[in-house]
A and B are shown apart, each in its own frame.
Chain A
């Protein structure tokens, strides 16, 4: 027999990983298929309700449009809020249920002693599992997020696409977050060797990641500024408003509350703005930046996921059984 030793081809390792993780991937497909069915049925109701309410596409500056919107929210608001918040806080947890057992269960069941002593070696086996499951998870999440994005669209009709519940449901942001939680759960599972603990850490990470992303999001690009001379709602272009402040005629910055103090009431403050040389400034992100922001969020979360996967592989390479 030849003494030359060649590693099995990468595709073969991926096929082996496919066999190993097939039960988990089948479960994922089943869960997502059920979820898509629920989303399709309830989403149809939401969109039909929005259409019926007359709030679809009307001008929010009009009082009647506002009333239609409130009618819609009275009937469907709870449903939208429940679904939106579930995705908002726990959407990433999908990654925890696949990431946590990926390595932890191998330790728990002792199957590493089989997998790591095959010709492919532990590094290629671990990389194969992470790549395969991560890729399938990303594609499945993206498909689900497309439907989810449609499902939650009524919420963004008047609040804009930057509304947190809507933004985090869109495919790039959700895929990035799911991958980040997946990678973190896999790493924690490898280090602690406990599937349940790793799932718990992953679910917690889903919430934390959402809150961290939301605190960073407005700063993905430098905001634009508008200068106004009225207190009336200035724009209905679905921009994401970041902050409001006032400058006096000398250009000194002061808060909106101070303007009300100076003007005495709303009308006095309005008069200072329109005739007194005071200006109202608004920082905002235009709606046109929506996809840029989606991909920035996907970018940093996915990069972090890759780094965490690399850390998991590093740990496995050094880890003793």
Chain B
């Protein structure tokens, strides 16, 4: 039976020595989405993916993947594909040897798919991995992950080192696999402006905590940028949950959560829908703001949150 969540965690934390890389992470990512995990450097993206892949053990809290599977367990490993940051594989091995390794190390393995994937991109299978370009290396890593026929694919900043063409090719292969197999994907990225075309679910991490989690369309539809007179800004801010408040002389800009409808403000205010990048940046600049679904979302009384 298909799981209804691909990552489900509560109170999840991971500490490296005295530094918390991830803290009090509560998240329930539904299955069947392409999830973008965004946040600045050190936000805990790689840590969260590492925990979901079973590479890291939590310091506190609990996490399950694909329903009730424990990360790192044999059943979870068989059903999850993972592509690491910088697509690190063995540079001295030929591509065909890497495919053979994958075949030997996995019960679920679609060799024909991996070969077709690489042949389709003209990546020579007899070339050593270390001699491939960055884009080709990323494609080999993706081919190895997809050949497992995973139900969940985790990608840790797969686009970071790629040029625009390689990024496009990578995302094209990824989205084709999503369309064909219906697998769930969670990938971390800095390239917020490129996410709109590929992801339909967004998780924003900031300072080791989840700030935003939800479907992209809901999030974009549920926020408005209000521009109006500063003299009335306090009154508006008292009535609506403000994510970001910028006041410049006579005019103020308030990013508010409206729950999917226009904000009830006077005619002196102009309201606009916001783009994904603007939304993400607004939350990252306001670490105390959050937009999380209930009842699993971490909602604190002192945070500016509009409950659904």
Q: Within 8 Å CB of B72, what residues of A?
A: 121-122
Per the bound structure, the CA–CA distance linking A120 and B105 in Å amounts to 5
Establish whether residues B97 and A8, one from each chain, have CB atoms under 8 Å apart when the complex forms. Answer: no
- B140-182 CB mask vs A (1 if < 8 Å, else 0) is 0100100011000000100000000000000000000000000
Establish whether residues A320 and B56, one from each chain, have CB atoms under 8 Å apart when the complex forms. Answer: yes
Q: Within 8 Å CB of B55, what residues of A?
A: 112-113, 116-117, 320-321
With both chains docked as a complex, state the minimum distance between the C-beta of A121 and any C-beta of chain B, in angstroms.
Answer: 6
- A89-125 CB mask vs B (1 if < 8 Å, else 0) is 0000000000000000000011111111111111001
With both chains docked as a complex, state the minimum distance between the C-beta of B13 and any C-beta of chain A, in angstroms.
Answer: 13
Establish whether residues A16 and B104, one from each chain, have CB atoms under 8 Å apart when the complex forms. Answer: yes
Give the residue of A3, A8, A23, A113 whose beta carbon is less than 8 angstroms from that of B82: A113
Q: Does B307 contact A (CB under 8 A)?
A: no
The B-contacting residues of A in range 1-31, CB under 8 angstroms, are: 1, 3, 5-8, 12-13, 15-16, 19-20, 22-23
Establish whether residues A114 and B144, one from each chain, have CB atoms under 8 Å apart when the complex forms. Answer: yes
The A-contacting residues of B in range 94-113, CB under 8 angstroms, are: 97, 100-102, 104-108
Known contacts being A118-B77, A119-B78, is A111 close to B106, with CB within 8 Å? no
Establish whether residues B102 and A23, one from each chain, have CB atoms under 8 Å apart when the complex forms. Answer: no
Establish whether residues A8 and B57, one from each chain, have CB atoms under 8 Å apart when the complex forms. Answer: no
Give the residue of B56, B100, B149 whose beta carbon is less than 8 angstroms from that of A19: B100
Stretch from B22-30, B83-91, B232-240, B293-301 that touches the partner: B83-91
Per the bound structure, the CA–CA distance linking A113 and B92 in Å amounts to 17
Q: Within 8 Å CB of A125, what residues of B?
A: 105
Q: Does B53 contact A (CB under 8 A)?
A: yes
Establish whether residues A13 and B104, one from each chain, have CB atoms under 8 Å apart when the complex forms. Answer: yes
Q: Within 8 Å CB of A318, what residues of B?
A: 57
Establish whether residues B84 and A113, one from each chain, have CB atoms under 8 Å apart when the complex forms. Answer: yes
Q: Does B241 contact A (CB under 8 A)?
A: no
Q: Does B44 contact A (CB under 8 A)?
A: no
Q: Does B206 contact A (CB under 8 A)?
A: no
Q: Within 8 Å CB of B281, what residues of A?
A: none
Q: Within 8 Å CB of A15, what residues of B?
A: 100, 104
Establish whether residues A121 and B77, one from each chain, have CB atoms under 8 Å apart when the complex forms. Answer: yes
With both chains docked as a complex, state the minimum distance between the C-beta of B62 and any C-beta of chain A, in angstroms.
Answer: 16
Q: Within 8 Å CB of B75, what residues of A?
A: 3, 5
Interface size on A, residues (CB 8 A): 32
Per the bound structure, the CA–CA distance linking A22 and B14 in Å amounts to 36
Establish whether residues A119 and B108, one from each chain, have CB atoms under 8 Å apart when the complex forms. Answer: yes
Known contacts being A119-B106, A320-B57, is A109 close to B88, with CB within 8 Å? yes
Give the residue of B80, B81, B105, B107 whose beta carbon is less than 8 angstroms from that of A16: B105
Per the bound structure, the CA–CA distance linking A114 and B77 in Å amounts to 11
Establish whether residues A119 and B105, one from each chain, have CB atoms under 8 Å apart when the complex forms. Answer: yes
Per the bound structure, the CA–CA distance linking A2 and B299 in Å amounts to 39
Establish whether residues B88 and A19, one from each chain, have CB atoms under 8 Å apart when the complex forms. Answer: no
With both chains docked as a complex, state the minimum distance between the C-beta of A263 and any C-beta of chain B, in angstroms.
Answer: 71
Establish whether residues A118 and B50, one from each chain, have CB atoms under 8 Å apart when the complex forms. Answer: no
Q: Within 8 Å CB of A116, what residues of B?
A: 54-55
The B-contacting residues of A in range 41-73, CB under 8 angstroms, are: none
Known contacts being A19-B100, A119-B148, is A114 close to B88, with CB within 8 Å? yes
Establish whether residues A117 and B104, one from each chain, have CB atoms under 8 Å apart when the complex forms. Answer: no
Establish whether residues A8 and B107, one from each chain, have CB atoms under 8 Å apart when the complex forms. Answer: yes
Give the residue of B88, B93, B105 whose beta carbon is less than 8 angstroms from that of A113: B88
Q: Within 8 Å CB of B156, what residues of A?
A: 113
Establish whether residues A114 and B74, one from each chain, have CB atoms under 8 Å apart when the complex forms. Answer: no
Q: Within 8 Å CB of A8, what residues of B?
A: 104-107
Per the bound structure, the CA–CA distance linking A179 and B82 in Å amounts to 34
Establish whether residues B74 and A7, one from each chain, have CB atoms under 8 Å apart when the complex forms. Answer: yes
Q: Within 8 Å CB of A19, what residues of B?
A: 93, 97, 100-101, 104
Establish whether residues B107 and A114, one from each chain, have CB atoms under 8 Å apart when the complex forms. Answer: no
Q: Within 8 Å CB of B149, what residues of A?
A: 1
With both chains docked as a complex, state the minimum distance between the C-beta of A123 and any C-beta of chain B, in angstroms.
Answer: 10
Per the bound structure, the CA–CA distance linking A58 and B217 in Å amounts to 97
Establish whether residues A111 and B89, one from each chain, have CB atoms under 8 Å apart when the complex forms. Answer: yes
Per the bound structure, the CA–CA distance linking A110 and B80 in Å amounts to 18
Known contacts being A19-B101, A20-B101, A110-B86, is A117 close to B106, with CB within 8 Å? no
Give the residue of A109, A112, A118 whose beta carbon is less than 8 angstroms from that of B105: A118
With both chains docked as a complex, state the minimum distance between the C-beta of B51 and any C-beta of chain A, in angstroms.
Answer: 9
Q: Within 8 Å CB of A12, what residues of B?
A: 104-105
Q: Within 8 Å CB of B101, what residues of A?
A: 16, 19-20
Establish whether residues A111 and B105, one from each chain, have CB atoms under 8 Å apart when the complex forms. Answer: no
Nearest CB to that of A5 among chain B residues? Answer: B75
Given contacts A114-B144, A320-B55, 17 further A-B contacts (CB under 8 A): A5-B107, A8-B107, A12-B104, A19-B101, A109-B88, A110-B86, A111-B88, A113-B50, A117-B53, A118-B105, A118-B148, A119-B108, A119-B148, A120-B104, A121-B74, A320-B14, A321-B55
A-B contact pairs, 14 of them (CB 8 A): A3-B75, A5-B107, A13-B104, A13-B105, A23-B92, A110-B88, A116-B54, A116-B55, A117-B82, A120-B77, A120-B104, A121-B77, A320-B56, A321-B56
